[in-house]
Amino acid sequence: MSIKIVKDNIVLTNPEGKSISIPMKSAEECEKASFVVCAPLEWHDEPPFKASVTGTCSVCGKGIWYSTLTTPKTPPKICAYCAVNKLETAAAEITKTE
């Protein structure tokens, strides 16, 4: 799994090379999000940000890192693996209806 910032998009790429591009939003828009994607603990030996804290993915229960300065407070926090699963499921549903 890789995450890159490309222009104003976050690009998630799975090990098979499938990518999903997610546009970045303002802080106000982010508070209305369905979920916030966070880095799994296994991705970093040390905190990735100065204000990093650990938490738990609200879907699978695995440990995650997130920043107390930039992460929206309202939406549930999920790991990148669960985010990719959610997005792949949503994409499959869209494909079925086309």
- Summarised one tens digit per residue, pLDDT across range 46-84 is 887 778 899 999 999 999 999 888 889 999 999 999 998
With contact defined as beta carbons under 8 Å apart, do 41 and 63 qualify? yes
Phi, psi of 63 (to 5 degrees): -70, 145
Q: Tally the domains of the chain.
A: 1
Phi/psi class of residue 17: alpha, beta or left (left: φ > 0; alpha: ψ in -120 to 50)? left
User: What's residue 97's pLDDT?
Assistant: 65
Question: What is the extent of the structural domain holding 44?
Answer: 2-97
> Per-residue DSSP letters for 62-76?
-EEEEETTTS-SSSP
pLDDT bin (cut points 50, 70, 90) of residue 6 is confident
Cα separations in angstroms, 72 against 29, 32, 88: 9, 9, 23
- Tens digit of each residue's pLDDT (9 = 90 or more) over 12-54: 887 788 888 888 788 888 899 889 999 899 988 888 777 889 9
